[in-house]
Amino acid sequence: MNLKYYLKTLLFPGINLHGRLRYRVLPRFFGSARPGEERWFLDAGCGNGMLTYQAWRKGHRAVGVSIKEGEIERARRFFNEARGIPESQLSFRVHNLYRLEDLGLSFDEIVCSEVLEHIVRDADVIRSFAAVLKPGGVLHLCCPNADHPDNCATTLDKNESGGHVRPGYTLDSYQALLKPAGLRIIESAGLGGPVREFFNKRILRAQDQRRVPAAACWFLAGWALAWLDTPHPRVPYSLYVRAKKTM
């Protein structure tokens, strides 16, 4: 085991405190495959593959997709090559979210975490999800809470060049987005309180400035104090919904 792989394994899924919370909490809403059952799970916009991996751990045949070739290459190296997980069980592919039907697969569950806020044509992506979800399938969405003051203050990226094209979503805007595609919200939750947000902003700022020691210090402090956040923050940083395909 080389040093780089060891450090990545030690810190996985990274030092973003909100990301670490999603890694721990969102899989609680995922279904589990029974012995001998084949269930397919899609992680749409998979990033470093953390939720794809969690779905695989729950017995799914998990597929992570991203339009970023670098993300896919790193995920393959980390999970398939270094950890030896067969690609028949956990695979990563470069693919566009607008054309998921081209995968030639149908899924029991789909997760899309912290992705839709970067996409102008979010309704088209939701229709793409619905097209590959099996009848009664489940869609997990997690995006910034549009009512959180930090998200409201975000400078929007009108050119869709990687930033947020909208502050996020509310339960009402989620409903308006999902209902026309035949998806009904059956559960919701808020994630991320003020303590995590305080430290995470400083971690991200230090990373942007390439101040690695400072980012590490802010991470360690935030990791140690994150327990001070309540499980159900009054104004959460992110909103999660679980929706079921009804048509």
Secondary structure tally for the chain: helices H, strands E: 9, 7
Query: Sign (positive/negative) of CA torsion 20, 18, 186, 176?
Result: negative
pLDDT at 119: 96
pLDDT at 4: 77
Query: By the 8 A CB rule, do 118 and 125 touch?
Result: no
| One pLDDT digit (tens) per residue for the chain, 247 residues | 577 788 888 899 999 999 999 999 999 999 999 999 999 999 999 999 999 999 999 999 999 999 999 999 999 999 999 999 999 999 999 999 999 999 999 999 999 999 999 999 999 999 999 999 999 999 999 999 999 999 999 999 988 999 999 999 999 999 999 999 999 999 999 999 999 999 999 999 999 999 999 999 999 999 999 999 998 999 999 999 999 999 7
Domain boundaries, the chain: 3-193+231-245, 194-229
| Residue (of 140, 183, 177, 136) closest to 46 by Cα position | 140
Helix axes 194-208, 212-225, angle to 10 degrees: 170
Element (H, E) at 203: helix 194-208
Q: Cis (ω within 30 of 0) for the bond into 13?
A: yes
Structure tokens at 154: 């975000």
pLDDT at 246: 92
Please provide the distance, in angstroms rounded to a whole number, between the alpha carbons at the two ends of the chain. Answer: 48
The identity of residue 89, as a single letter, is: Q
CATH top-level class of 3-193+231-245:
alpha beta
pLDDT at 1: 57
Note the residue count of the chain: 247
pLDDT at 93: 98
d(CA 185, CA 242): 6
